[in-house]
Amino acid sequence: MKHTLYIYSQAPLFEIINEILVDFIVVPLTLDEASNHKFKNNNTLLVLKNDIPKEINKSFFSNNNVVVFFSNKHKFNDTIKAHNVNFFYGHSNVKKFLDEINTTFISKTLILKNIEILDEKISNINSGESMLLTPLEKEILIVLFEKKQITREFLLEEILKIKKDIETKTIESHLTRIRRKLLKIESEIQISSKEDVFFLEN
């Protein structure tokens, strides 16, 4: 199962990128996107040469799961320390950095409203009712939890690995099963759709 990871990079990722690509769908992030207040609840990696770009403010760090990696040894100034985010630099910290990536972006419980996703199970945190998820169902739900809405094209090509020009009802069958499981555990959120966009509704 792959998680979505947004990366803003000023420098080459060296050997890190090979490790990251194993567990993540990597999406390039621009400074314009990072400075937009609507960019929230995302796993984000900043690969920097020097200081944090002025376009990225404190709300970016409080609204997202962020790890910062400096390609060169960096003298942390007060601005960087104020963000209260884990920072790493240079090749000597690659292993520790990758451990932090896993801890921050993968090894965590996802909670939205009264619903919790942990391991291969989705649960109602109030009643304790739960349902097992297939790996693909879990991946679809995690992406929806993170992005709040996704396009049909993204779901087909990035998650189901089906080309958009192929006629298929696979997407509907997966979403129908997920909707049924959400209903059975009395979820406060449901998956809705409008045209070619799927989104969480509560």
Q: Which CATH superfamily includes the segment(s) 3-105?
A: Response regulator (3.40.50.2300)
Is the pLDDT reported for residue 1 higher than 70? no
pLDDT, one tens digit per residue, over 134-175 is 888 888 888 888 788 888 888 887 777 765 554 556 778 888
Sequence-distant (6+) residues with CB within 8 A of 125 are 111, 114, 115, 116
**CATH number belonging to domain 110-201:** 1.10.10.10
Q: Which two tokens stand for residue 139?
A: 């991946």
**CA 100, chain centre distance (Å):** 15
pLDDT, one tens digit per residue, over 60-89 is 887 888 888 877 665 555 555 555 566 776
From the list 154, 172, 174, 150, the residue with the least C-alpha distance to 164 is 154
Is the pLDDT reported for residue 14 higher than 70? no
Q: Which two tokens stand for residue 150?
A: 């996704």
Domain map of the chain by residue range? 3-105, 110-201
pLDDT recorded at residue 138: 85
CA–CA distance, 106 with 84 (Å, rounded to integer): 20
pTM, whole model, 2 decimals?
0.51
Q: Which of 96-100, 105-109, 191-195 has the lowest mean pLDDT?
A: 105-109
Pairing of strands 3-9, 24-28: parallel
pLDDT recorded at residue 177: 92
Helix 94-105 to helix 16-23 angle, to the nearest 10 degrees?
20
From the list 81, 92, 24, 13, the residue with the least C-alpha distance to 47 is 13
Length of the chain: 202
